[in-house]
Amino acid sequence: MSKTILVTGGAGFIGSAVVRHLINDTDHTVVNLDKLTYAGNLESLTSVSDNARYRFEQVDICDAEEVKRVFSLHQPDIIMHLAAESHVDRSIDGPGEFIQTNVVGTYTLLEQARAYWSVLEGEKKDGFKFHHISTDEVYGDLPHPDEVAPGTELPLFTETTPYAPSSPYSASKASSDQLVRSWLRTYKLPTLVTNCSNNYGPFHFPEKLIPLVILNALAGKPLPVYGKGNQIRDWLYVEDHARALVLVALEGEIGETYNIGGHNEKQNIEVVQTICSILDEVKPKESKYAEQITYVQDRPGHDMRYAIDANKIERELGWRPQETFESGIRKTVEWYLNNETWWKAVQDGSYQGERLGTAS
């Protein structure tokens, strides 16, 4: 049965991938609710914006009256909540905005969802879900291979790993996760949570590591690497993540948490070197791109290793990533080479949305 799915943050990097997947690969109706901050870009949705099953609402999730209006007008069956401030460096420089959007915004959305859900009846009420999308950064970090004896089995984040956030960003997401769970326990609002590893792929805002390295490399600029570059992340191709999120929203069990990972643990320096090697192959120049690598002072409180155990979502819902890191990173590099108009519009601020930063 076709449903109406409200996606908050649907003009963002992951949110736009979810919207494109829902429109292109399902028959569900999508309401995209987005404030259009610096990271929200409607040009990421040009391919689906004229579809009869797509609606857009420019709304701040902290605006209770506007959220209430959207619920009343569109009568959603499922909420997929992705709207968030997400860049760790920005949270260190200005944590207040992260508390406002990620904590207060989630609270506002939960309260309006509860008011809306409480008056629903029959199948509409029984089928309602509030799916909160979060990050593996809420778990803190894991032992690094450099810190343990050779041959030691390294732990992974599971759905029951205790929370130990390290940055204002991850602390704000941890807070929002717990708000969502408490609304289930206290008010019986039907919620579920997913926590994902680092995403990458098309339409990624250029301040994040992978697009920043690609675009700086093409521009002949330094490729900044924090510390020694030995921080480890589990990389998840954004379109694989979008498939997982929609699967959880439609088939996940109320009250459950699902970790979503790419099975791709890589050191940051490996990621940068891989991008340089691909560019050497597909867009060669006189010198090697790796010569642009520059090591910079490490981020305060930088987590050394993230790694997701995604066995639960595979076992219970049958999801696995389709892309390896090698296939996904090549697709990503080629996408940026072929979509200069998009990323140049992002860099100079000429797209739809408020421009607040640069890629440097």
Domain CATH number, residue 29: 3.40.50.720
Q: Is residue 35 part of a domain?
A: yes
First to last CA, the chain: 46
What is the tens place of the pLDDT at every residue in 140-181?
Answer: 999 999 988 988 999 999 999 999 999 999 999 999 999 999
Q: Is residue 121 part of a domain?
A: yes
Residue 81 and residue 75: Cα distance in Å, rounded?
16
Non-local (6+) Cβ contacts of 62 within 8 A are 100, 101, 104, 105, 108
Is 184:190 a contact under the CB 8 Å cutoff? yes
pLDDT at 350: 61
Q: Is residue 354 part of a domain?
A: no
Is 177:138 a contact under the CB 8 Å cutoff? yes
Number of folded domains that form the chain: 1
- Confidence label for 357 from pLDDT (cuts 50, 70 and 90): very low
pTM, two decimals, is 0.94
pLDDT at 359: 26
Non-local (6+) Cβ contacts of 261 within 8 A are 136, 196, 197, 234, 236, 307, 308, 309, 310, 321
**Cα distances (Å, whole numbers) of residue 98 to 59, 209, 261, 280:** 17, 20, 24, 38
Q: Does pLDDT of 12 surpass 60?
A: yes
358 vs 117, more confident = 117
Q: Does pLDDT of 265 surpass 50?
A: yes
What range does the domain containing 54 cover? 4-348
Residue numbers annotated as active site: 136-137, 169
Residue 17 and residue 289: Cα distance in Å, rounded?
29
Q: Is residue 360 part of a domain?
A: no
Is 36:354 a contact under the CB 8 Å cutoff? yes
What is the tens place of the pLDDT at every residue in 325-342?
Answer: 999 999 999 999 999 999
Residue 286 and residue 13: Cα distance in Å, rounded?
33
Residue 199 and residue 16: Cα distance in Å, rounded?
13
pLDDT at 89: 83
Q: Is residue 210 part of a domain?
A: yes
In this structure, is the dihedral angle defined by the CA atoms of residues 44, 8, 176 and 172, taken in order, positive or negative?
Answer: positive
pLDDT at 353: 42
Q: Does pLDDT of 232 surpass 90?
A: yes
Residue 306 and residue 326: Cα distance in Å, rounded?
19
Of the candidates 25, 26, 31, 33, the residue with the CA atom closest to the CA atom of residue 8 = 33
| Mean pLDDT computed over 175-188 | 98
Q: Does pLDDT of 299 surpass 70?
A: yes
Q: Is residue 117 part of a domain?
A: yes
pLDDT at 354: 38
Structure tokens that stand for 27 in this block: 């028959």
Q: Does pLDDT of 229 surpass 80?
A: yes
What is the tens place of the pLDDT at every residue in 236-256?
Answer: 999 999 999 999 999 999 999
C-alpha 26 chain-centroid distance: 21
Q: Does pLDDT of 271 surpass 90?
A: yes
What is the tens place of the pLDDT at every residue in 208-227?
Answer: 899 999 999 999 999 999 99
Q: Does pLDDT of 306 surpass 50?
A: yes
Question: Rounded to the nearest 5°, which phi and psi values hold at 73?
Answer: -70, -45
Q: Is 72 exposed, middle or buried (0-12, 13-18, 19+ CB in 10 A)?
A: exposed
Averaged confidence pLDDT in the chain: 94
Residue 34: CB atoms within 10 A of its CB come to 28
Is 21:246 a contact under the CB 8 Å cutoff? yes
Q: Is residue 292 part of a domain?
A: yes
Q: Is residue 356 part of a domain?
A: no
